[in-house]
């Protein structure tokens, strides 16, 4: 059994209760974990508080923190195979993809290491002859991190090393479905030199463990990734204690193809964009907006390519689409497909779960004839389901693209630079890809407008979430003049 990680050591849950994780592809038990309680969170927050208020981590030089973050990245690389296998077994994602995610996670730790040496404030030498103003950037304190099941190690690596880089400490609540790699990461970071109490992981349910973390008075910042509905609850709980809160939530992202685009180049990214990670991806390009002049031809090509996607055992290196995370998620996908078939759109490919001896798999699915008011055009399905809409003009596609509560990302393909920039400027989304889709770099900020969230992760501004500004004003030389 794997226990919580509190104060740099494996720690039993107060009650001794436990829960298991199950492979979505094989129905086999993968992990046996401590079922946390609110009081386990309280212990973890105390450990993080002591490590912040009295420990060495916030007081180390940026150089020292950077070298430990880099050493953690090296250990992630060394353990790539083990981490990727565990990630695949708990999440159902293809093993080749999981390995690439472990590489990307290590890269995030290395990038965050550079911020440990570069995050800084400002100096004002312009306030007058006798005055100097300093704006110091200080670590914000204890950060509570709540993460989902779709990219477990990658998403915690979008938060944790960035918070650590500036000297914060952390309490993490991973998804109950996929806690394995986060617990392993905490052990690797410890081996790399992260002091006791700086990283704490409590496993268990969102309703008990997650909600206690969100409302805990001794937590200074909450960083959440998951559904918009739970994000609202987390923000409300954080608001009651006036703690800062950043939210990475869902998306219903438009992927737009203009008639002048290089259609050969766009085809594979369109298919990748929607079926990657079984469509269980906040960035999924699940709304395909086609210029009606090329719509029929391009739809046929998308269907033909989607038909060839290898779906199956995620441990097979040839697999591109693995298993759906659990039965409730599979049922949700089926409900949307059923809705799509009755609302006037046309089911052109897939639409069914795939019968297998174990696990739960769903066919890559395509609907065309979708219109903007339909649920399959507006709501996040989080499954391998593509909705195809058409447009006549640039203005119409901008209007359709923005006709959603979400605003996470968007892609567009065109040979015309004016079209590319006009559309990019007018779509309300945190990331726009032009003639590419779902590329990501640690240097570039990521986050959403509207119901897709609050705040930005990655890039050099990411440390804003984890720092406080302190103004220090200095008088130089003798004093002249007085109030009275
Ligand atoms: P949730 O938002 O329910 O879960 C995300 C994390 O929040 C998990 O660790 C979860 O715990 C925790 N949590 C749940 N309830 C609370 C609470 N009241 N207070 C604090 N934390 C809580 O996502 P799901 O995993 O249930 O997925 C449901 C839907 O969310 C998906 O269908 C998809 O639409 C969306 N989603 C979006 C993601 C994104 O990256 N934008 C990622 C994952 C999901 P627990 O482990 O118990 O679930």
pLDDT single digits (tens) 302-345:
999 999 999 999 999 999 999 999 999 999 999 999 999 999 99
Mean per-residue pLDDT over the chain, rounded: 97
Rounded CA gap, 110 and 96, in Å?
22
In this predicted model, what pLDDT tens digit does every residue of 90-137 receive, in sequence order?
A: 999 999 999 999 999 999 999 999 999 999 999 999 999 999 999 999
In this predicted model, what pLDDT tens digit does every residue of 48-60 receive, in sequence order?
A: 999 999 999 999 9
Q: What is the pLDDT of residue 354?
A: 97
Q: Quick one: pLDDT band at residue 367, thresholds 50, 70, 90? A: very high
Distance from residue 150's CA to the centre of ligand 1 (Å): 10
In this predicted model, what pLDDT tens digit does every residue of 419-456 receive, in sequence order?
A: 999 999 999 999 999 999 999 999 999 999 999 999 99
Probe ligand 1: pick from 226, 284, 438, max atoms within 8 Å of CB?
226
Q: Hey, is 466 helix, strand or coil?
A: helix
Q: From edge to edge, which strands make up the β-sheet containing 409-413?
A: 346-349, 365-368, 385-391, 287-291, 254-257, 409-413, 431-434
Q: Quick one: pLDDT band at residue 481, thresholds 50, 70, 90? A: confident
In this predicted model, what pLDDT tens digit does every residue of 272-310 receive, in sequence order?
A: 999 999 999 999 999 999 999 999 999 999 999 999 999
Probe ligand 1: pick from 174, 227, 286, 431, max atoms within 8 Å of CB?
227
pLDDT at 247 over 90: yes
Distance from residue 409's CA to the centre of ligand 1 (Å): 20
Q: Quick one: pLDDT band at residue 362, thresholds 50, 70, 90? A: very high
248 is catalytic: yes
CA 205 to ligand 1: nearest atom = 47
Tokens of 188: 């690797």
Distance from residue 228's CA to the centre of ligand 1 (Å): 8
Q: What is the pLDDT of residue 472?
A: 98
Q: Is 452 close to ligand 1, i.e. is its CB under 6 Å away?
A: no
Q: What is the pLDDT of residue 347?
A: 98
pLDDT at 7 over 90: yes
Rounded CA gap, 476 and 123, in Å?
14
CA 214 to ligand 1: nearest atom = 20
Q: Is 158 close to ligand 1, i.e. is its CB under 6 Å away?
A: no
The Cβ-side half-sphere exposure at 71, using a 13 Å CA radius, reads 15
**CA-closest residue to ligand 1 atom 12:** 206
Q: Is 208 close to ligand 1, i.e. is its CB under 6 Å away?
A: no
Q: What is the pLDDT of residue 480?
A: 83
In this predicted model, what pLDDT tens digit does every residue of 187-208 receive, in sequence order?
A: 999 999 999 999 999 999 999 9
In this predicted model, what pLDDT tens digit does every residue of 380-424 receive, in sequence order?
A: 999 999 999 999 999 999 999 999 999 999 999 999 999 999 999
Q: Quick one: pLDDT band at residue 214, thresholds 50, 70, 90? A: very high
Measured N-to-C along each axis, helices 80-91 and 95-118 cross at an angle, to the nearest 10 degrees, of 120
């Amino acid at each position: 059994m794997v226990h919580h990680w509190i104060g740099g050591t494996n720690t039993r849950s107060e009650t001794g209760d436990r829960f298991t994780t199950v492979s979505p592809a094989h129905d086999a038990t993968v992990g046996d974990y401590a079922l946390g309680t609110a009081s386990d969170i309280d212990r973890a927050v105390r450990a993080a508080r002591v490590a912040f208020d009295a420990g060495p981590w916030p007081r180390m030089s940026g150089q020292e923190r950077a070298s430990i973050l880099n050493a953690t990245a090296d250990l992630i690389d060394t353990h790539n195979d083990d981490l990727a296998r565990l990630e695949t077994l708990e999440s159902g994602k293809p093993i080749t993809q999981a390995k690439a995610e472990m590489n990307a996670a290590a890269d995030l730790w290395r990038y965050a290491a550079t911020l440990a040496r570069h995050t800084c404030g400002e100096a004002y030498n312009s306030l007058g002859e006798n005055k100097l103003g300093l704006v110091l950037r200080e670590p914000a304190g204890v950060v509570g991190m709540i993460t989902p099941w779709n990219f477990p190690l990658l998403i915690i690596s979008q938060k944790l090393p960035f918070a650590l880089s500036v000297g914060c400490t952390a309490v993490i609540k991973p998804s109950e479905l996929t806690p394995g790699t986060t617990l392993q990461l905490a052990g690797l970071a410890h081996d790399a030199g992260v002091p006791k109490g700086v990283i704490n992981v409590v496993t268990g349910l969102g309703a008990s463990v997650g909600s206690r973390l969100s409302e805990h008075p001794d937590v200074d910042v909450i960083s959440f990734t998951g559904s918009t509905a739970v994000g609202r609850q987390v923000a409300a709980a954080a608001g009651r204690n006036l703690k800062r809160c950043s939210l990475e939530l869902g998306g219903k992202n438009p992927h737009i193809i203009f008639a002048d685009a290089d259609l050969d180049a766009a085809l594979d990214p369109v298919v990748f964009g929607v079926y990657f990670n079984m469509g269980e991806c906040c960035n999924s390009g699940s709304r395909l907006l086609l210029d009606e002049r090329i719509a029929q031809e391009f739809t046929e090509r998308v269907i033909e390519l989607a038909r060839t996607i290898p779906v199956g055992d995620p441990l097979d290196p040839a697999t591109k689409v693995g298993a759906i995370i659990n039965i409730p998620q599979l049922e949700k996908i089926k409900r949307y497909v059923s809705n799509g078939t009755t609302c006037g759109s046309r089911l052109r490919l897939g639409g069914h779960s795939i019968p297998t001896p174990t696990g739960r798999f769903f066919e890559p699915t395509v609907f065309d004839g979708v219109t903007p008011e339909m649920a399959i055009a507006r709501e996040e399905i989080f499954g391998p389901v593509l909705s195809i809409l058409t447009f006549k003009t640039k203005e119409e596609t901008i209007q359709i693209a923005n006709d959603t509560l979400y605003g996470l990302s968007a892609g567009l393909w065109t040979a015309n630079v004016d079209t590319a920039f006009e559309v990019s400027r007018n779509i309300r989304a945190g990331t726009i890809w032009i003639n590419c889709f779902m590329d990501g770099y640690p240097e570039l900020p990521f986050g959403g407008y509207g119901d897709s969230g609050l705040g930005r992760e990655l890039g050099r501004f990411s440390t804003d979430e984890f720092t406080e500004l302190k103004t220090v004003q200095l008088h130089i030389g003798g004093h002249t003049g007085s109030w009275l």
